[in-house]
Amino acid sequence: MSPPPTAALERTRSPLPRGLLWALRWVDRGLLLLVALGAGLACGARDLAAPFPSVLFYATPLPILCLGALAGAGLARLRGKRRRALAWAALFGILAVGTLGADWFPERAPVSVVDPIRVVSWNLHEGDAGQAAIQAGLEELDADLVCLAEVGHTRDRDRGFLRELDAHLRARGYVTRTWPGARLIVALRAADGTLGRLRLSKASGVALLLQVEATWRGRPLRIALTDFRSRPTLDRSPGTARVLEALESGATPWICAGDFNTPRASRCLDPWRAAGASHAFEAAGSGYAPTWPAPAPVLALDHVWSKGLLTSSAAAPLRAESDHCPLIAVLGWPPRR
Nearest to 162 by CA among 139, 187, 141: 187
Residue 45 shares a structural domain with residue 119: no
Backbone dihedral angles phi then psi of residue 229, each to the nearest 5 degrees: -65, 150
- Quick one: 251 exposed, middle or buried, by C-beta within 10 A (0-12, 13-18, 19+)? exposed
Residues 151 and 294 in one domain: yes
| pLDDT of res. 3 | 53
Q: Are 37 and 129 contained in the same domain?
A: no
Structural domain boundaries enclosing 241 = 108-333
Same domain? For 145 and 33 the reply is no
Same domain, 38 and 85: yes
pLDDT of residue 19: 82
* Residues 61 and 131 both lie in one domain: no
pLDDT for residue 10: 44
How does DSSP classify residue 49? Answer: S
Residues 146 and 36 both lie in one domain = no
Of the three residues 73, 104, 135, the one that is the final residue of a domain is 104
Residue 7: predicted pLDDT: 47
CB 326 within 8 A of CB 316: yes
Q: What is the model's pLDDT at position 2?
A: 53
Domain boundary among 104, 132, 160: 104
Residue 148 and residue 222 in one domain:
yes
pLDDT tens, residue order, the chain (337 aa): 455 554 444 444 567 788 888 888 899 999 999 999 999 988 887 887 677 888 899 999 999 999 999 999 999 998 889 999 999 999 999 999 999 999 999 999 999 999 999 999 999 999 999 999 999 999 999 999 999 999 999 888 889 999 999 999 999 999 999 999 999 999 999 999 999 989 999 988 899 999 999 999 999 999 999 999 998 888 899 999 999 999 998 899 999 999 999 999 999 999 999 999 999 999 999 999 999 999 999 999 999 999 999 999 999 999 999 999 999 999 999 998 7
Partners of 81 in the β-ladder: none
pTM of the predicted model as reported, rounded to 2 decimal places: 0.91
Q: What are phi and psi of 266, to 5 degrees?
A: -65, 145
Local structure of residue 78 (DSSP, 8 states) = H
- Total structural domains within the chain: 2
Does 170 share its domain with 312? Answer: yes
Give the domain CATH number at 212: 3.60.10.10
3-state class (DSSP) for residue 231? coil
Three state DSSP letters for 98-161: HHHHHHEECCCCCCCCEEEEEEEEEECHHHCCCHHHHHHHHHHHCCCEEEEECCCCCCCCCCHH
Residue 11, pLDDT score:
42
Contact 143, 120 (CB under 8 A): yes
Domain boundary residue, one of 104, 119, 142? 104
124 and 94 assigned to the same domain: no
Same domain, yes or no: 20 and 156: no
Q: Are residues 281 and 138 in the same domain?
A: yes
